[in-house]
Every structure is written in C-alpha cells, then in structure tokens.
Chain A
Amino acid sequence: QKEVEQNSGPLSVPEGAIASLNCTYSDRGSQSFFWYRQYSGKSPELIMFIYSNGDKEDGRFTAQLNKASQYVSLLIRDSQPSDSATYLCAESGGYQKVTFGIGTKLQVIP
C-alpha cells in the first residue's frame, strides 16, 4: 500500500515569509510527484509537478525532489494571505492512479 505522509498542520507563516511544506512517500518506484492546492470545499488545483531530482521553479513556487530520501517539498516565497489553503502532496508510479497525502493546512497571517 503506497503512502504519502504529510504533517496536517496548520502551518502558520507571516505574510511575505517563505512557507516550506514537506512530504515523504513510501514507494521507491514512484515516478511523478505533484503539489495541489485545495481551498475549503473546492477541488484540488495542480500547482506543480516534478519528475527529476532537484529543484523546479515556477514563479513564487519551488518544488524539490530527493528520490534517495523519498522526500518532496514545496517552497512558497513571499507568501500571501491568498495562499492560505490546504496543500496536497501526491505521487504516481507511472500508472493512472494518484496517491494523495492528507494535506498540510497553510495559514498566511497578514
């Protein structure tokens, strides 16, 4: 049974700070990793995906993958109150099924 582990939070950061969200996964065969943002009562919205070790940057977001440590992270620079949401880490082993973590609730304090 594949597992994706996240601290459910809440993680509170002041506006303008860097928010760091972390995730570990159990299956070494996992190939694709995703970060979704989910506002309360809404569907998951894809923010980033990463397949290779290292960093991938997109605007204020940076995803980091370390396959040796089975660790994925998301950094949000210059955090804004509108970033307050639950961030879901997810993985896929190359098949269609995506396995999600419980999500980390982020609160950005103005």
Chain B
Amino acid sequence: EPEVTQTPSHQVTQMGQEVILRCVPISNHLYFYWYRQILGQKVEFLVSFYNNEISEKSEIFDDQFSVERPDGSNFTLKIRSTKLEDSAMYFCASSPQGEVTADTQYFGPGTRLTVL
C-alpha cells in the first residue's frame, strides 16, 4: 500500500539554525499538508499546498516557515531560524483531492525536531 514517507525521522539542531524537513507524498495525490504536534498537545495544522502554491495556512505558519515542491515527488518544510518552541513532531500528509466528500488525509510517520 502506498505510504507517505518523511526524512529524517529525528533532527537535532541549534537554535537559530535553518532546518529542512522532507516528505514524499503518495504519488497520485494532489494536496499536501504539514502539521505539527508539540509533545502532549494537539495536532496543529500548519499549511496546505496545491498546484504549487499555498492554499491555506494557519497563524503558526509565519515568515519563518516556507514550503516547496522542488520536484515531482518531494515536498519540503523549511524553518529559517529555529526557536526552542519549534521543537515538535512534524507530520506531512497528502490527500487525493480536497472536496469534502473525499477529504481524507494520509499521514507520514513524522520527523521529530529537537531545537537545543
């Protein structure tokens, strides 16, 4: 069964450094998402991406964050200058379409980001 994959599984970085989290969505999916989950807290929506542009973003997704689909398979989340509070599990997800009747998202295994 096709899966969303994410690399690395764990990233440790120093505060102020840039990090790039990588995702390979399911191949025939059209919508891509990033979520984060701070330990013990809710899964929080960051951004959705369709047709090579952001379609929706949350208030968390400020200028420190950016997303890109650099080629036909990868989807990346960049955090320009990491803060301690960016430490969280970051999940990538993809879905085949965005209409409400088929609005289901398949999650990758996550990247645990630790900012020291």
- Chain A: residues with CB nearer than 8 A to chain B? 31-32, 34, 42-46, 49, 51, 88, 90, 92, 94-103
Contacts and interface: CB of A to CB of B under 8 A. Distances in A.
B107 interface: yes
Nearest to A102: B42
A48 to B, nearest CB: 10
24 contacts: A42-B109, A42-B110, A43-B91, A43-B108, A43-B110, A44-B107, A45-B107, A46-B105, A46-B107, A51-B100, A92-B103, A94-B99, A94-B103, A95-B98, A96-B33, A96-B48, A96-B50, A96-B56, A96-B103, A97-B45, A97-B58, A99-B45, A101-B42, A102-B41
Interface of B: 31, 33, 35, 41-45, 48, 50, 55-56, 58, 91, 95, 98-101, 103-110
Contacts of B103: 32, 92, 94, 96, 98
A46 B106 contact: yes
B50 to A, nearest CB: 7
Contacts of B108: 43
A67 B50 CA distance: 30
A49 B98 CA distance: 14
Nearest to A90: B43
Contact of B56 (A32, A95, A103): A95
B44 A96 contact: no
Contacts of A100: 42-44
In this complex, which of A31, A32, A49, A98 has the most chain B Cβ atoms within 10 angstroms of its Cβ? A98
A8 to B, nearest CB: 10
A85 to B, nearest CB: 14
Contacts of A102: 41-42
Contacts of B41: 102
Contacts of A34: 104
B43 A97 contact: no
Contacts of A99: 45
Nearest to B99: A94
Contacts of B43: 44, 88, 90, 100
